[in-house]
Chains A and B, each alone.
Chain A
Amino acid sequence: MSGKRSTIKRRTFLGAVLAGAAGGAAIAFGKRGGSGWRFFTDEEARTAAAICEQLIPADHDPGARQAGVVNYIDIQLTRHFRKHQKVYRSGLEKVQRISRGRFGNAFAVLSPQQQQEILNHVEKHVQPFFDLILAHARQGFYGDPRHGGNRDMVSWKMLGLPFPPVRGRMQYGDGPKVG
C-alpha cells in the first residue's frame, strides 16, 4: 500500500490510468512474436483461455472459449484493466509453474480433471489473480459484446433474453413526444 501511495504524495495527481500506462506501455505495445493479442503472449492466451473455459465450461450451451472471453480480457488489459497487467502476468506464470510441477505439462494441455485440480489450488493460494480472472470471465461471458466478449450474444441466448437487446417496449402508445 505505502509504495503506491508514495508515488502519488506531494504532487498533483495526473491520473491512475496515465500512471498505469507508463508502467504497462512497454508490455502493451510490445506484441511478441507477431501474435494477434494486445497484451497476452500466445502462451498466456492459451492458458487464460483454458482457465476461463473451466470457470464457464461449454455444455449444450457455449462456454467461455466460444464466447471469446479471453478476447475481452485482452482488450481490457490495455484499457480499463491496465492496472491489473502485473497480476495477470505473474498469475498466469504461476499457473504454468504449478501445472508443470504437478503434472509435468502446460495447463492448457492438461485433462479437465487435472485443470480443475490446479484451479482449486490456485483459488486458495493465488487469490488476487483467481478472483480477478473469475470476475473478468463473468464480465466477458455475460456482458455486452461491444467489449469483445459474449460473441454472438451466446450467454443472452442461453438465458432466453430477447436479442439483439430490445431497446424498449411501446406498451402504452402515448404517441410521439409532446410539445
Chain B
Amino acid sequence: MALGHVNAVIVGAGAGGGVVAKELATAGLSVVLLERGRWYDAAADRKDDLQNQRTTVLGNGFGPDDDRNPRVLVDKQGERVVFPSEGDYSNNAACVGGGTFSYGAQAWRFMEKDFRMRSTYGAVPGSTLEDWPIAYQDLEPFYEKAEWELGVSGDDSNNIFKAPRHKPLPMPPLPPTREHQILLPAAGRLGLHPFDIPMLRNSVPYNGRRSCMRCRWCCGFACEVDARSGTHNTVIPAALETGNCELRTECMTRDIMLDDGGHAKGVAYFDTSNRLREQTADLVIVSCGAVESARLLLNTRHRLFPTGLGNRFDWVGRNLQAHTYPAGVGLFEEETYDDIGPGASIAICDYNHGNAGLAGGGMLANEFIRLPYQFQNFVPPWVPRWGQAYKDYVRHAFKRTVVVMGPVQEIPVFDARVQADPTTNDYWGIPVARMSGTRHPHTIEIANYMRGKAEAWLREAGAVRTFGWGGSPGLSGGQHQAGTCRMGNDPKTSVVNKDCQLHDVDNVYVIDASVHVTNGGFNPALTILANAYRASNNLLQTWKGSKVRG
C-alpha cells in the first residue's frame, strides 16, 4: 500500500537520522522518519541491572528483541545464528534515539590526525587504512552546532592535544567524584594532561531539561530525569514541532525501491502491524547504523545493482570496525567508591597519537560507575572464580577499585564485513546480516600498549595492585560500529562521496557511522551528530525543490 509522497524518507531515528530529520524538516522539506524500535519514555525506566543496554544477560533494555532479529556470525569455529542480547551480535539499540537513548554520552570531537590516518602513519599491511575525504576543519562548525543544540558539559581546556575549537562547551563539568580526585593529581605527576570529559549530559538546566542527579544507573539505562541528551529528547522533538516530519515507530524497512533507471523512489517497509507499506520520496536517507545500513543496501537488488545498491565495486559492508577497549583495574586500600554517577569524568589524550612504532592509540578515561553485578567483570586473574576467596574479593574490592579504559582507534580490515545472509531471514522474511572477519593484529598491539598506560596511571594513583586486559582478535562491532559504507572521492574504493551521497545513485544518502573511514580513538556519537549536520547542510544547499543537483 502506497502512502502520501514526501520529499525525504529517513530510515533509522538514531544519532544520524534524528539530526537529518530536524535539519530537513526545519528547511521546509516533508519528512517521514522510520524507526524499527519504540519510543521509550524516560520515566518508564526500569533500572534493571540484568536487562539493560549494557548488561543483557536477561535481554536488551531497548531492543532489538531476540525473537525477531537474528544475525549470522562467522568465526573460526564456523558459522552460527546469534541473537541481539548476545555479545557477538554487535548490537546497537533499536529505539527512537538509537544508541543515544541509553549511551554513556561522552561527546568527543575527533582529533585532526584522526581524519588523516593514512597520511600520518602510511600504509599498514593488511589494512585499508585511509584518510577521510574531509578534514577536521570541515566538521568543526558542526561539532559546535551539535554541542550547543544538544547540550554538552565538560571542560577540555587542559587538553593540549585537542583540535582547535571556536567556542567553549556550553555547560561546566559536573563536580568531581572521589575517583576523579584520586586520578587527577596522579596524571599530573606523570606529566599527563587530564581534563573533564565532554558529556552530552546537563550539568546545569539546559534547553528546558534539568541537570544530572548523579545516580548510579547511567550508561545502558534511560535517564530518569532526562538530563542526558540524545536525539530522542532534542532534535527529533524539534523535527516533529515543525509540522513537516512524521515519525513512524516499530516500522521495519525491507529495501529501497528503485525505478527502471536505478533512481530511488522510496522504501518498502513493514509497519507496526507487519503490513507491507510503500513510502515514496524524492530522497532516501539510510541511517540504520553500520551493520543495518549495509544490510539495507545489500538487500536492495536491481538489474543495475545485482549485488546490492552502491555495491558495484564490492565495498558495501566492508571495513566493519568499532573500538577495542583495553583496560586497567586498580585495587586500592582506601575506599574509592562514592556512589555518585555517572562515573566516567576524567580523561587524557596523551596517547591518542605519537606512540612510538604504533599507528595511533586512543584516549583513556575512568570507567562508568559499576553496579554489583557489573563488578563481576573486574575480578583479577589471581582470584579463584568461585568459593570463599571469590566472595571475599568482591566484598572487599567493590568499593576499592578504579577502572581506567579507553577506545583504541582500530586499523580497518577489508574482510571484516557485513553481507546479506543467503539463507537466514528475520521475522519479516528479510535476509539477515552475516558478519565475518577479525581485528587487525596491529589493533591488538596498540590495545596491549594502552593497557600498560592505564595500569601505570592507576599505580601512580596509589593502586596497591593492578591487572587488566588488551585486545582480542575477534570481529569488532557493538555500539561503536562504523565503517561499512566508506566515504571517499574514488567510487572504486568507497561507497559514498564526501557529502554522504551514494556514488551510484544521487538521491540516496548514508548518514551515520557507516561512512566513517576510521573511527577515532574516541566514542563516536558526537562525530556522527556533527557529520549528520554537515551532510544535511550540504544536501540542502543542492536541494532543488524535488531533487538534488546531480
Contact = CB atoms under 8 A, between A and B. Distances in A.
Interface of A: 1-2, 4-5, 8-18, 54-57, 59, 61, 63, 76, 79-80, 116, 119, 123, 134-135, 137-139, 142-144, 146-147, 155-156, 158-162, 165-172, 174-179
Contacts of A168: 213-215, 217, 224-225
A146 B387 contact: no
A135 B57 CA distance: 9
Nearest to B399: A160
Contacts of B68: 13, 15
Contacts of A11: 425
A51 B476 CA distance: 35
A167 B47 CA distance: 9
26 contacts: A5-B79, A5-B81, A9-B424, A10-B423, A11-B425, A12-B425, A12-B426, A13-B424, A15-B66, A55-B387, A56-B386, A61-B391, A80-B58, A80-B85, A134-B385, A137-B386, A139-B57, A142-B376, A144-B49, A156-B372, A159-B372, A165-B47, A166-B215, A167-B47, A168-B213, A178-B210
B372 A155 contact: yes
B165 interface: no
A144 B46 CA distance: 11
B38 interface: no
Given A15-B427, A17-B67, A170-B213, 7 more contacts: A4-B81, A13-B432, A57-B391, A143-B372, A159-B395, A174-B205, A177-B210
Interface of B: 47-50, 57-59, 66-68, 70, 77-81, 83, 85, 204-205, 208-217, 224-226, 339-340, 372-373, 375-376, 385-388, 390-391, 394-395, 398-399, 423-429, 432
A15 B78 CA distance: 21
Contact of A57 (B81, B339, B376, B387): B387
Given A12-B429, A169-B213, A159 B394 contact: yes
Contact of B77 (A1, A13, A161, A165): A1
Nearest to A160: B399
Contacts of B428: 12
A81 B398 CA distance: 28
Contacts of B85: 80
Nearest to A136: B57
Contacts of B215: 166-169
Closest 10 interchain pairs by CB? Answer: A15-B67, A168-B215, A168-B213, A179-B208, A142-B372, A55-B386, A142-B373, A143-B50, A9-B423, A159-B398
Contact of B66 (A17, A63, A138): A17
Q: SS class of chain B's interface: helix, strand, loop or mixed? A: loop
B80 A4 contact: yes
Contacts of B58: 76, 79-80, 139, 147
B67 A134 contact: no
A96 B190 CA distance: 56
Given A13-B427, A147-B50, A57 B388 contact: yes
Contacts of A80: 57-59, 85
A54 B70 contact: no
A174 B204 contact: yes
A123 B215 CA distance: 38
B209 A56 contact: no
A68 to B, nearest CB: 15
Contacts of B67: 15-18
Contacts of A61: 391, 395
A84 to B, nearest CB: 11
Contacts of A143: 49-50, 372-373
A174 B394 CA distance: 37
Contact of A54 (B209, B216, B387, B399): B387
Contacts of A160: 398-399
Contact of B425 (A13, A17, A18, A159): A13
Contacts of A147: 50, 58
A19 to B, nearest CB: 10
B216 to A, nearest CB: 8
A42 to B, nearest CB: 24
Nearest to A166: B215
Contacts of B66: 15-17
A4 B210 CA distance: 50
B61 to A, nearest CB: 12
Nearest to B67: A15
B215 to A, nearest CB: 4
B395 A134 contact: no
Contacts of B226: 177
Given A1-B80, A55-B387, A57-B388, A16 B213 contact: no
B147 to A, nearest CB: 20
A137 B387 CA distance: 11
A56 B79 contact: no
A179 B70 CA distance: 42
Contacts of B77: 1
A48 to B, nearest CB: 14
A16 B208 CA distance: 43
A18 B66 CA distance: 10
A166 to B, nearest CB: 7
A170 B394 CA distance: 29
Nearest to B80: A1
